Structure 1
Amino acid sequence: MSDKASNNANLPALREQVSELVLAGSLQHAEEAFSKAADEHGDYAVAEVLSTLPPQVTALHLAGFDGSKTSLATMLVPPKAWADSLAYLAATWPDNMIEDDPERIAEGLFNHVHGVVYATEDEERRHDLLAEASATDHGATVFAILWSLAPKEIMEVAGEINLKGRYVTGQTSSDSDIIPLAIDLARASEDGWERSLIELFPEFRHSNEMAEAEFPDDPDEDPSFQQRTTRDLLYRLRKQVPSVRTMPRRSTRKSIGSDIFS
C-alpha cells in the first residue's frame, strides 16, 4: 500500500477521534491528535481531516484558539473549511454577552480571524482564506463586525483604497490593527471587501459613495448615514447560523464593482 493510500485509510479514524474530542470539549487533546497525525503522516493528513470535519465541529475547535495560542488547525485549515465554519461561530456566544458586552465578543472574533489569516507567512494562503471567507453572506457579516470596532477608520481607508488602489498605505486617524486586515481583504477580494462595507454601512451601494460622507468629529454624535452597531451585527450573524442539518452554501449574489487594484 502506498504512503498516500495508507494515510487515506487512517483519515476516517482520525476524523472521528477529533470530532469526539472537540464535542467533548477536549480541544487540547484534539490538537495532540492532529500533532501525532502530522508527525506520522505529514501536514496533508491534518488538512485533509479539517477539510472533511462538519463545519460546526471546526468552528467549536477553532473558537478555542487565537493569535496568542499555537494551533496546528489554525495553520492548516483549508480556506473553504474555515469559511464554512465561520457560519457557526455565533452559536457559541452567550445571549447575555451579545447584549451586555458586544465589543468583547467582536474583539475575540478579531483575534480568531487574525490568528487564522496570519498564522503563516504564506501570502497566497492568506489571500485564499480572505477570499473564501468573504464570499459568503455570513463571512461579509463577520468582517462587518470587525469593522464596527473602528468604523471611522474603515471609512477613511475605504476612501484611500478608492483613490490609490494597490498603492494604499493604510494611514488613518488611528493605529488600529484592524486596518491592515481590511487592506489585505480588499487586495484578496474586491467583492468581499465591498460586501463587508455594505453590511456595516447599508445605505451605500459602493465604497466610492463613501468619499462624500464624513464622520462627525464628536465621538458621541451619531453619523448622518446608517451604520449597523456591533450588537446589531452580532445578532445578524446569529440569525445566519445554519441548521446542523444543512450545509452553508456560497451566496448567489453577483459580484459588484470593478477591480480597485487594477
Structure 2
Amino acid sequence: MSDKANLPALTKQVSELVLAGSLQHAEEAFSQAADEHGDYAVAEVLSTLPPQVTALHLAGFDGAKTSLATMLVPPKAWAESLAYMAATWPDNMIEDDPERIAEGLFNHVHGVVYATEDEDRRHELLQEASATDHGATVFAILWSLAPKEILEVAGEIISKGRYVTGQTSSDSDIVPLAIDLAKASEDGWERSLIELFPEFRHSAEMADAEFPDDPDEDPDFQQRSTRDLLYRLRKQVPSVRTMPRRSTRKSMGTDIFS
C-alpha cells in the first residue's frame, strides 16, 4: 500500500479522536505517521481535515505545549481553522473573562507562527491568516490586549517603514507579532487595525492619534473592546455546511515597507 493510500484512513482516525476529545491520542497518531511516512503525511492529513476539526485540535495546544500539528499545519488549513476558534469558547467566558480568552488566542497564534525558525513559513502563515475577514478579527482581538502599544507601532511603521524598531511605552510581547504581520502582509495589518479602530480608514490616519495618559480616560476615537471583537468573531463562525472563503475585499494602500 502506498503512503497516499494510508492518508484517508489516518484523516478519518484523527477526526474521530479529536471529535471524541482525545487530543493526545490524535497527536500520537500524527507522531506515528511522521515516523512511518515523514512529516509530509502529517501536513497532508492536516490539509484534508475539516477546518472545524483542525480548530478543535489546535485549540488544545499553545506555546506551552508542543504539537506536531502546530509545527506542520499548512498555512491555508490553519487560516481556515481560525474561523472556527470562537465556536470553542463558552458564552459565559466571553462575557465574564474576555481577556483570558484573548490571551489564550494569542498563545495559540504565537505558538503556530513561531513554532519553527522558518521565516518563509512564518510569513506565509501570517499572510494566509490575515487574508480573510475572520483573520482580521482574530488579529484585532490580539491587538485589543495592548491597544496603546499597537497605535504606537502603527505610527512608527508609517514614519520609519522597514526601519521600525518596535519600541513602545511598554514591553509587550504582542508588538513583535504586530511588526511581523505588517512585514508579511500590509493589507492584513491594515485590516486588523481598522477592525480594532473602525473610525480610521487607513493606518496613515493613526500617525497623530494618541491615547490619553490617564488610563481611566477614553480616547477621542472609537476602539472596539476585546469582548466586542470576540462576539464579532463568534458571528463569523461559518456553518459547517459552508467552507470559509477568502475575502474578495480589495487591498488597501501602498507598500509601507518600501
Deviation, 1:211, is 1.2
Question: Residues of 1 paired with 2:216 and 2:103: CA distance?
Answer: 21
Deviation by residue 1:150-193 (Cα, 9 ceiling, x = unmatched): 00000000000011111100000000000000000000000000
Asked whether the equivalents of residues 144 and 226 of structure 2 are also in contact (C-alpha less than 8 Å), the reply is yes
Asked whether the equivalents of residues 187 and 252 of structure 2 are also in contact (C-alpha less than 8 Å), the reply is yes
SS at match of 1:212: coil
Asked whether the equivalents of residues 55 and 81 of structure 2 are also in contact (C-alpha less than 8 Å), the reply is yes
Question: Residues of 1 paired with 2:79 and 2:2: CA distance?
Answer: 32
Question: Residues of 2 paired with 1:190 and 1:75: CA distance?
Answer: 24
Which residue matches 2:3? Answer: 3
Deviation by residue 1:42-64 (Cα, 9 ceiling, x = unmatched): 00000000001000000000000
Deviation, 1:21, is 0.2
Compared CA separation, residues 2 and 243, structure 1 to 2 (3 A):
closer
Question: Residues of 2 paired with 1:66 and 1:33: CA distance?
Answer: 19
Which residue matches 2:155? Answer: 159
1:205 to 201, 218, 232: 201
Deviation by residue 1:240-259 (Cα, 9 ceiling, x = unmatched): 00000000000010000110
Question: Residues of 2 paired with 1:254 and 1:34: CA distance?
Answer: 38
The number of equivalent residue pairs is 258
Gaps of 5+ in 2: none
Question: Residues of 1 paired with 2:39 and 2:169: CA distance?
Answer: 42
1:142 aligns with 2:138: yes
SS at match of 1:257: coil
Percent sequence identity over aligned pairs: 92
Which residue matches 1:179? Answer: 175
Deviation, 1:94, is 0.4
SS at match of 2:240: coil
Gaps of 5+ in 1: none
Deviation, 1:2, is 6.3
Deviation by residue 1:187-209 (Cα, 9 ceiling, x = unmatched): 00000000000000000011110
1:60 to 56, 59, 78: 56
Compared CA separation, residues 54 and 2, structure 1 to 2 (3 A):
closer
Asked whether the equivalents of residues 155 and 204 of structure 2 are also in contact (C-alpha less than 8 Å), the reply is yes
TM-score by length of 1: 0.97
Deviation by residue 1:115-148 (Cα, 9 ceiling, x = unmatched): 0000000000000000000000000000000000
The structure 1 segments of at least 4 consecutive aligned residues displaced by more than 3 Å after TM superposition are 1-4
Question: Residues of 1 paired with 2:221 and 2:245: CA distance?
Answer: 31
